[in-house]
Structures are given as C-alpha cells and as structure tokens.
Chains A and B, each alone.
Chain A
C-alpha cells in the first residue's frame, strides 16, 4: 500500500495531532511513514499543512503536485489552496466551517467560503463535506473536529487504515479523560449521510 495524504487548515485547528494519529496508526502496522509539517510562525493563525507519505518507494517528505490520494481539509479555503496537489480521481474530505482571516474581518481582503465549497463540488469527484457545526453540537465539543475529519476520511476508503488502527492511535496519543469523546468523534461520520450533492 502506498498513500499520499495532505492535511491542511489554519494554525491552531489541530492538524498536527491528526497527522500524528495517522502516523502512529501506520507505524503500529509497520507501514513506512514520512511526514513534513508547518511549524513556527505560520502556526499563529496562518495557513498550515502536513504532507504524509505512507508506504514504500518514496524518498522525499514533500509530495509533488498531482500526486495526492487524499486531502483532509480543516477549512474550505485552505482545501482549495491545496487542491493542485490532488491527483486525478483523488478524494477530499472537508469541513464546511470557514475560519475568517483577520484581514477579511477588517476589510483588507475578501473571503467567500460558500464559493470555496462550490468550487470543490465542481472540481472534486470524491468529495465528502463534513458539517462541522453539527458535529460540534452533537458531540458537545468543537475541539475534536480533527478526529471527526479522520472518521470521515476512514469512510472515504482512501486513508488505507481501519477504524481500529486509529482507535489504538488515539489511545496512545490522547489523554484518557478525552478518550470517549474522541472515539465518538471518530465514529460520528458513520451515522451521517454525507455526500457532495
């Protein structure tokens, strides 16, 4: 198995933990794994991404354009930004909830998140839109969006891992008092009819 995955969002949204969970699950299954991440200044509300390469046969930690099997987008605009990396027929899982940049709030730039979702609908064949607000409401926490998205990614079949793999990784990486919440978050997508239409 070989998978190229990009996680993307805005600094502070939990992309790094999600990337770590995938990596832990892969390592536990003896799948070779390499990742590259944004660390540093951009974490302060800037665009962030993680590149993950699972499986044999690659050397570089960064993935080239048109080579990604799956994009897990924590934010619509950031997902569109990364779309050139998606290969033909690749899958996208995206949270519909935008994070408005300060520059847009003070009128220095424009950001139309609806248009981003429309663009994704028009240009991605295998698109899963996750209703982040609904998930937060039902789970009682907005902080587990990352794990909700991982659950949706599992459902897409493009992650190359099973639910039990990720559950084990969560057990390893997440403090025990948040375990139940995270397990629920992982399973949340199963009960929801998500499609791109």
Chain B
C-alpha cells in the first residue's frame, strides 16, 4: 500500500486495476473521462484499453470480454448510457461470466451535460444492480466490491458516481501493483443455450433475474456500505434522514442533532429493504436527501406502503428538497433546519430549536449587494479554428434563409454571441438528422449540420447515410480539429493513434463520405478566410448532400507560431474584429477606443488580421497547411 492524492476518477481506475480488470473500453464524456485515461496511464501492462468509437461499441466490447471470463469495465457519462442502452438491456438477460462493471458518471446540475438523468433509475429499468459511492476513498474500495458482486451473481453492475465524487480529490492509501488481484480468463465456452438471445431464453432468464434481484434486497441489506447511523437516545428519536452519494457527506457535516437517525443507501437498486425497515422502525418522519431522481424517497414510500408503516416520507416529491439541480451544503443545511424545526413528540421545543439552530447555516458576514458580476458563459478559445469555420459560413450565407444545426462538442459554443451559429443542439450526431427534417419541411432553407470529427465517428455516419439515401438537401460541415477537444484531447479513429499508444491507419473522413456516395466533399483550412467563404458559397449551391471538412488542429494541441498585434496608428477603432469574432484575445485598449490584443492568449491564428478593414493587425502566423490536405488523396 502507498498513499496518493487522487481524483475520484483516478481512484476508481486504480480500484479497477486492483480488482484485476482485464479489459477497459469507453467513450469520453465529462465527468467520466479520467477513469479510462488513468487506466491507460497506470496500466501494469496486461490490461487491454480502448477508446471505443461510442458507448454502444464500448459496451459490446466489454460484454464480449466478460463472456470470455475476463473482468471488464466500460466507462461513459450518463447520456452515453442512452447510446449503450440497446446492448445493455439485452445483456442483462444474458448475463456475464467475468465480472463486468458499467461505470456511468452522472452530472447533477447539470454542469457539463444535456440532461439530469439518473442512472439509479436506469438501473431499475434495466434490472441491473447499482453501486453509488459517497467519497473518493470509498469509490476506490467499492469498485473492487462491485466486480466481486458482478462475478458472483453473473450480472453486469452499474457503478455510478456523480461529479463531486468523480472530480473530487482525496489523499488515500492504494495498493501497489504487486498486490493487485490477478484474474485469468477461462475463455469463451460455446453454449448457444446461454449466449444466444431468443424469446424462450429471455422469458426464462427474466424470471431468474426477478428472483435474483429479490434476493439481492436481502444481500444488500447486509452489505456494510448500506448502513444506519443510530441515534444516541432512541426514546427521543422520531426523525430520520435517508441519503446517498456525496449528499451523505453534506449531511454528516451539517447534522448536529444526535437524536436523528441516518441511513445511507449505497445500493439504491435492488433496494436494501430489510435494512430500510430497521431504519424506519419507530420514526414519524424521514427526509430523503438525494440528487437527480427521488429514488430513495420512492423506495421508502413503497416500503411504508408494503408494510403499513405510519412514517411520513419527505424529499423531492413533497417539495422539501429541490426537484432538480445540484445540491449544495446550503441546500442540505437549509432542508435539515426546516425538517428538524417542528416537533410534536417527546423532544422538547427547546431541544428541537437548538438542533435546528445548530444545523442552520451560519449567516455569512452580511455583505452588501455587490456591483454587477461579470457574465462568463464558456466561449471558444482564442484562436480556435471553429470560430473561423463558423464565421466563414456566416459570411458566405449572409442574407440567405438558413438553419445551422449544431452538435455536441466544443463547437456547441458557436451558439454564443457574436457568432450565433448554433440554432439547434440535441445529442451526439443529432444535428445531421435535424437538418434533414427541417429541409423536408422547408425546402427553401439552406440546411447546415455542423459535426466535430470525434462526433462524426461516434454517431454522424448513420445520419449521413440516411441523408444520402433519402435524397436530403443539406450541407454537412465537419469541424475537424483532429482530436476530441472538449473532454481533454482523446484520440479517435481519425487521429491515427490509440489510447494504448499504437500508431494505426487513420480512418479518413473524406473517404468515408465518398464511400457513402457524396460527390462533393471539399477540405479547406478554415483559417484561410477568403477561400473558406468561397468554398461555402460554391458547395452550398450544389444539390443533394454535400460536405465541407474544415480541418485545422485544436489550438490546445498545436503550438502558436506567432502572436498578432494591433498597430494603434493604423487601427481606426471600428471594432469590427471585437464585434464580429468574439475572440477572448481581442480587447479594447486603455482608452476604450481601439482594439488591442491580449498576447497572453493570442495564438496568432490571423483570422482578425484577414478581417481588419484597416489592415492594422499583423504578426500572427497560420499553421502551415501541409497537414491540412485531404486525407487519402490518391483515391480522390
């Protein structure tokens, strides 16, 4: 054992390694990404790791490994689970041989996601048991236990953590590689009655799953991470708190009333019913403190109904906890204070008020109203090639009736003023389908779909085939910055590298598009403004489905070759650069009259230089265009 200061996701990764994981697959997505990255980094050498092209592919690869007796882990964020749900729903009916953990990172808030969906609810729907850690150090231990449960009961299990665990840090003791459990996979054993899903097998296994999950309610009641913190004086205890995840930590830090009982639920499905009955015994009221769905609240309400217990269960459904958004210390403290305030039983009014007061948030030093705080929505980085691509399309289509369907990635930020180039955004790859649908209804609209390179591989190809087959009229814009930028620069099929460091043949976006049947496929460097505008004008006028690939590397992975500067003598103060581009490097000078460049963030992309009507900006240097050429040129 040795001590390390670890991010929750790193701790989960090291826990999986300690559990002898043999194969890890996943698709990047905040807040899950660092799990797979850490496994790749800390790989003792015998673990197969891949960034799959999407979560469905990852789920299937992991399932195959688990069929062969390997311990397998697949990682994704909560919306990724939607993509992987098809194989998972069926996999639960088939089961696994080696332990298989489906790691899903949920995002209350949401801080970096489209939805606030709850994987605990998905667990109930899919009948897959779920583990819900409360802290970084617990997550390290719990994922090892999750592998054991999975293997013992022959089912995939969810390990779902939320942002504050995934991205929290703690110093904790972890195993040395010599201490890791070694799992030697037996290999796949042919048995069609086990591995081939037919209705007959499904109905048989469905019954077995229901039986097993009923049994797991008792098993999980004994699982030491599902626990009750008993009150000091049971004669005075009429209230309980049921909680989960990081909310358990908020509760521990906020609750100072020793006569309130606390239950922490580590496995919300199958729900530890026996333990819950012990918890509810003698209580009048329970406050459920949880994030996302009211899972514990519903489960306890059910237990009360099933066993005719006269306990009032409160939480999200009763308006005592906010129905959406992330909880904070303030929310938990406030809800606890409110909950503990009224008391009609043994506890004296003074005692109750004291408990409530102690729980209440201490008033922060009373601050006067501050001046208007800066408004900072996230923006495209200075020098981001996406800005140039969006601006070129905008300039080329000025005065035309258009729709710009965006997608998931850094380029969603193209929606912000002054670019305003993202009319829709739904989920990975959806922009391509939405552009088609709009086009079928409004044939006079120029329909554009913007998709990133990684998103194209993840889920853009099917939509493009659909468009081509069904005679859509649209322009597909692939924003190819040669990385998965938003999640921290993971490789993908277009980069020619794998997460294990192999150099592999690149999958060419141009060749994929041409193979589908597109005849107009143009590749252009978006930082060449005039050429980009000219290309968009020409291509958008072609009939049918056509594509432009704007290729320029993400500025975070390519070194700036120069920095632009404004010549104050030449600048006429028109502010066109600032007004039209919204680049964080473009600011006003001290007098607020002329443009100035913040050289600490400028990358010298030259877009503003090309735009400046007074030719007052210079000094930048575009990346040489050698790497920008279409790939697979000899076939074109």
Contacts and interface: CB of A to CB of B under 8 A. Distances in A.
A67 to B, nearest CB: 8
Contact of A44 (B252, B375, B380): B380
Contacts, number: 177
B168 A35 contact: yes
Interface in A119-176: 119, 122-123, 142-143
Contacts of B582: 102, 105-106
Nearest to B252: A59
A65 B361 contact: yes
Contacts of B377: 46, 103
B462 to A, nearest CB: 26
B250 A62 contact: yes
Contacts of A43: 378
Interface stretch (B150-158, B311-319, B363-371, B393-401): B363-371
Nearest to B165: A61
Chain A interface extent, by class: 35 or more
A63 B329 contact: yes
Contact of B413 (A26, A44, A123): A44
Given A32-B171, A61-B168, A46 B579 contact: no
Given A61-B168, A65-B329, A103 B371 contact: no
B335 to A, nearest CB: 13
Main DSSP-derived SS at the B contact region: loop
Contacts of A111: 372, 374-375
Given A62-B329, A65-B329, A65-B364, A108 B379 contact: no
Nearest to A120: B370
B167 interface: yes
A115 B5 contact: no
Given A23-B5, A45-B376, A40 B112 contact: yes
Contact of A106 (B3, B111, B417): B417
Interface in B114-168: 135-136, 164, 167-168
A41 B329 contact: no
Contacts of A44: 378-381, 410, 413
B164 A62 contact: yes
A10 B361 contact: no
A140 to B, nearest CB: 13
Given A36-B168, A44-B410, A112-B372, A84 B367 contact: yes
Contact of A86 (B136, B252, B364, B379): B364
21 contacts: A33-B169, A33-B171, A34-B136, A40-B112, A41-B378, A43-B378, A47-B376, A59-B248, A59-B249, A59-B250, A60-B246, A60-B253, A61-B170, A62-B246, A64-B254, A64-B328, A78-B374, A87-B364, A98-B374, A102-B379, A109-B372
